[in-house]
Amino acid sequence: MNFDRSVTLTHYDEKWLDLAQLFRSLSLEVLSDRDVVLAHLDRPYFDEVYADRTSTCFERARMYESLSYGDPSVLLSCPGPSLSGIVLRELGSPEQQDQFFEHVSRQRARTCMAVTEPEKGSDAGNPTSSLNADHLLQAEKWLVGNGREASMGTIVVRTGPGPYSIVVVMLTPETLSHTGTFRQLLPLAGLQGAGLSHLHFDNVPVKPEQVLGMHRRPLERGMHAVIKTFYRMRPCVCAMALGNAQALLDHALPYLQTTSARELHRSLQSQVDGARALNLRAAQRIDDQIFDGAAVSLAKACATELAEKVARNMPLLTGTAHYLTDAWLQKATTDVHGYEWMEGSLDMQRLNIVAGYHSPAK
């Protein structure tokens, strides 16, 4: 399952190639053992994954694509701040940020961000999970990445009925290990490294200092921070889809036996290059504090649709016999279909694109 570094260097910086090669070597093991990556955390540059607290959106997009070229499922199984780290950087006080990032770095901890609810989907603006006046957490969340193993994280809940009552609460080791906390791993057909989980909190006590953003104006808390977090993370999902697609295209190179297959490969490669440029532009605009939801959604829609298009065409590129018998290829084409449901489905992205097109500020 080794890849050709000379080919890979035409797409990605050399800095991440050793880790990408490690991820590729673990790509089948992670299907049955999500902890397989934990024995390799002392590898060079791995600390920039699990101890990151300063990266830009552009830098994360580059890193995520390079490492997903190795294997996206292994990347998702890695410890690190992930979405919760971004929302802490956006909303947390200096003390809250130090508590979170120092724990994650020191313990090499996995983290989670609990938004989706079984009865509400990903409607983060209308959660039923609540934090009452006695600071007791009553919540049910599912499809939470790394939710079962996380020792730190965040959760979106209500404190009342009004539009400004939505808050983000930091989940500490004490909260996640409380007897009223239930955590269960969900079965997955692809991207098993994500460790999607079902979480239930039954009157779990929360300290007032765990509520993020209390030093900010009400308008800047809650949903405002969550939306900005999704904007900052969406280019990373695009990058994962493109890294997966690029890995498939490079895998096909030795098997291109016909003129039509070579022409198809060139066409798909050109489209991936264009989608990559689109995503990096969206990431750079976010770093420039231009929160253009339509641009980010366009990049997400293009990347996920294109990755699935590459996967559909793999039998034409490699030949049916190889496509049906290569274990890594089967896994990689299965993983492709998970990006659609990360950070907003295609229908949601299309609505954002249309809204941006009709916006008077465009």
Could you report the per-residue pLDDT of 278-328, keeping only the tens digit for each?
A: 999 999 999 999 988 889 999 999 999 999 999 999 999 999 999 999 999
Of 190, 215, 240, the residue that ends a domain is 215
Task: Please check whether residue 308 lies inside any domain of the structure.
Answer: yes
Of 199, 215, 231, the residue that ends a domain is 215
Task: Please check whether residue 227 lies inside any domain of the structure.
Answer: yes
Task: Please check whether residue 342 lies inside any domain of the structure.
Answer: yes
Q: pLDDT value at position 120?
A: 77
Q: Are residues 314 and 238 in the same domain?
A: yes
Pick from 29, 198, 176: nearest CA to 103: 176
Which residue carries 């955590």 as its tokens?
Answer: 183
Q: Are residues 229 and 351 in the same domain?
A: yes
Residue 297 identity: S
Q: Residue 167: phi, psi to the nearest 5?
A: -135, 165
Burial of 198 (0-12, 13-18, 19+ CB in 10 A): middle
Asked whether the beta carbons of 175 and 120 are under 8 A apart, the reply is no
Query: How far does Cα 331 stand from its chain's mean position?
Result: 18
Picking from 30-39, 109-118, 336-345, which range would have the lowest pLDDT averaged per residue? 336-345
How many domains is the chain partitioned into structurally? 3
Q: Are residues 231 and 190 in the same domain?
A: no
Query: How far does Cα 14 stand from its chain's mean position?
Result: 23
Q: Are residues 231 and 198 in the same domain?
A: no
Cα-based angle 290, 278, 231 (whole degrees, multiple of 5): 40
Both structure tokens of 266: 């060139």
224-to-90, 121, 165, 199, 228 alpha-carbon distances in Å: 10, 19, 12, 24, 6
Q: Are residues 197 and 242 in the same domain?
A: no
Q: Are residues 168 and 253 in the same domain?
A: no
- Give dist(CA 75, CA 264) in Å, integer: 29
Task: Please check whether residue 96 lies inside any domain of the structure.
Answer: no
**How many CA atoms, within 13 angstroms, populate the side-chain half-sphere of residue 111?**
29
Asked whether the beta carbons of 225 and 276 are under 8 A apart, the reply is no
For position 179, which CATH number holds?
2.40.110.10
Q: Are residues 80 and 134 in the same domain?
A: no
Task: Please check whether residue 140 lies inside any domain of the structure.
Answer: yes
Q: Are residues 209 and 312 in the same domain?
A: no
Query: How far does Cα 222 stand from its chain's mean position?
Result: 20
Task: Please check whether residue 99 lies inside any domain of the structure.
Answer: no
Mean pLDDT over 39-51 rounds to 97
Could you report the per-residue pLDDT of 174-194, keeping only the tens digit for each?
A: 999 999 999 999 999 999 999
264-to-304, 313, 315 alpha-carbon distances in Å: 19, 9, 12
Q: Are residues 271 and 318 in the same domain?
A: yes
Task: Please check whether residue 101 lies inside any domain of the structure.
Answer: no
Sign of the C-alpha dihedral computed for residues 219, 222, 223 and 224 taken in this order: positive
Task: Please check whether residue 344 lies inside any domain of the structure.
Answer: yes
Question: pTM surpassing 0.75?
Answer: yes
Bridge partners, residue 155, by sequence:
114, 169
Confidence band of 122 (pLDDT split at 50, 70, 90): low
Range of the domain at 162: 110-215
Mean pLDDT over 62-81 rounds to 98
Q: Are residues 76 and 116 in the same domain?
A: no
Q: Are residues 125 and 67 in the same domain?
A: no
Q: Are residues 130 and 207 in the same domain?
A: yes
For position 254, which CATH number holds?
1.20.140.10
Pick from 89, 86, 51, 45: nearest CA to 67: 45
Of 46, 68, 84, the residue that ends a domain is 84
